Structure 1
Amino acid sequence: MGLIRIDKLTVGYKKRKNGDKKVISHLNLDLKSGELICLVGPNGSGKSTLLKTITGLLPPLEGEIFLSGKNIRSMSSLERAKQVSLVLTNPVQAGQLTVYDVCSLGRYPHTDWMGSLGQEDHDMVTAALDAIGIRHFAHRYLHELSDGERQKVMIARALAQNSKLMILDEPTAFLDMPYRLEIMHILQNLAMNEDRGILLSTHDLDLALRTSDRLWVVNRDGSFHDGAPEDLVLKGIISQVFAIGEISYDAERGRFHIPVHPKGSVRITGENGKFRFWTERAMERIGFALQGDETVKIHVHITSRENIVTWIIQTPGNAKQFSNLTDGIDWIQNLKIAG
């Protein structure tokens, strides 16, 4: 039995006049234990609307949602809180609460009417702090933490809630790259090692492609696609949904292609590995196409001896060597050679 089963779901907003505003229609989806699913799509495509509907914050316009086999329409808010934990994008104003205090709030579905924590609750909070790696600052105030540290606390709070399903709305928004990578790594481990089901929305397509078991892709026109990241790339879905103007997704290289006015061609030989890779990237960035033809007028040869890398750049009647790409790029850009 899946943690989420969605049957013929239509999401959107109820309006008093002119009928309901439908955003995404006729969805049939599921999410199982141990899966990490990333929901991606352009701004305004309905990602947050779908997540809010799945968690019961918005009513479905049509269709049904089942959490662990039970229809969400028949569940109380307390029952839902035992089945699913939610981490939203909005920053939490926690006043003088410590990290431990905030994580303890995740135990509210399991406490008595006074919210008193028993030993089992304290054990769950400590285990959540350990799992996310933040036990060492459990007694710091939340307002003292960086954005990345605060987001870890929110995930620990959701983990302390002890639901099998975690839903996160853009958990890596506004974070620096190292924290974005760390947060996604934490969520991936929770799915794999603790058999949690995790559904999150994100604008970071590259991270989603690298970490998710499946992608849910929604377009502005309401079309929806579900599948392994690699399948959706190979079928052209990613290119179709995320193309804008002249910018397109290059399925062969797994990255977006930003067009540059062509200046000519260049041949690169010598060292392989990271030096070759980043030299090719540099040449493409400044507008030179990569060719293996020996008739190309610009030839970059990379050598490495005793950990010293040298770029030898040859043109008709001239050759110069450089110890770094910065100087080599400047020299090439100042050339007056066509082709």
Structure 2
Amino acid sequence: MTIAAERPIKTTADTPASTETKTFRFGELFSGPGGLGLAAKLASRPGYEIVHQWATDYDADTCRTYAQNICNDPDDKSVVHHDIRTLDYEVLKQLGGIDGLAFGFPCNDFSLVGERKGFDGKFGPLYTYGVRALEEFKPDWFLAENVGGIRADGGVALKRIFSDMIAAGYRIYPHYYRFEQYGVPQARHRMIVIGIKKELKVEFKVPSPKPYADRDVSAKTALKDIPESATNQEPTKQSKNVIERLEYIPAGGNAWHAAIPEHLQIKTKTKLSSIYKRLHPEKPAYTVTGSGGGGTHIYHWSEPRALTNRERARLQTFPDNYIFHGSKESVRKQIGMAVPVEGARVIFEALLDSFAGVDYDSVEPSLAYLIP
């Protein structure tokens, strides 16, 4: 069976009839607000494209955000609001077959922050729903994403996950991506696995960060010139104490800075570096998170305030016309849980180049040593 026979082929009125576009129909589990969805939609290579087929997530606001921006309708029925643990995959099959699948399964139980319950936690086993989707839908390729902290057990969890992906019928290319090296203004590090169906004569190569070495990824550049018309710019209310504390913290500093007077110091045994940490204007932002209490909102380098959600979205490389639905805290969570759009786009375009047989600068997969 040829690759072309498995996908619809279309021609456009603006190109000669002989120009064929191979279209990968794209499905997503744990879709989030659309970081991967938008990256796939924007990925562009001559003769190849990725188009949305369906997506699903357990959070209602997230689904409306995805549908609004990827489908141009917040109530689009191809975005299914449902808990994956009770979702009947027949619902997704009725929405159409797919050629590509993404599943950025929840990472809470593998994160370096928290109790690290791994496979014994609430979220640890959720990757199995992605593997099941591979078995049922048999897409040509997949992209799976998780936090770098999943490696902290010496690779035991990853070997198990990789083994299941291979058993589902795929060659895998796992790599630990540092997105600030790929033009993203944020130090965000994620484990991403690309899988290619074994019977296809296609080899994926991890794109090299070298073409992005001169990209300005400073926080100052990322946050400049946000138009007043952009949505999701509601300010976070800061107490008088927080404002005063921030005024003692220099750019790049945090709540443990020596200059903070006694009455403004935080008395805890654990000293997380991200608490009341101010951005440095000339460096990439630190990791944007989806939740957390006081001191975790990401703080401006010169103004004594937390960033707005729109500014946080800028650090995740969402465009200013991307509309997030829900309360301010819901939007904060959505943005923090997303994959940076432009970082994911680099990977999708490398994937399209792989199918097109186009060579590109590459590096060896950093996690290949964990493949069983």
TM-score by length of 1: 0.25
Structure with max Cα Rg: 1
Instruction: Point out the structure with the larger strand share.
Output: 1
Higher relative contact order (CA 8 A, sep 6+): 2
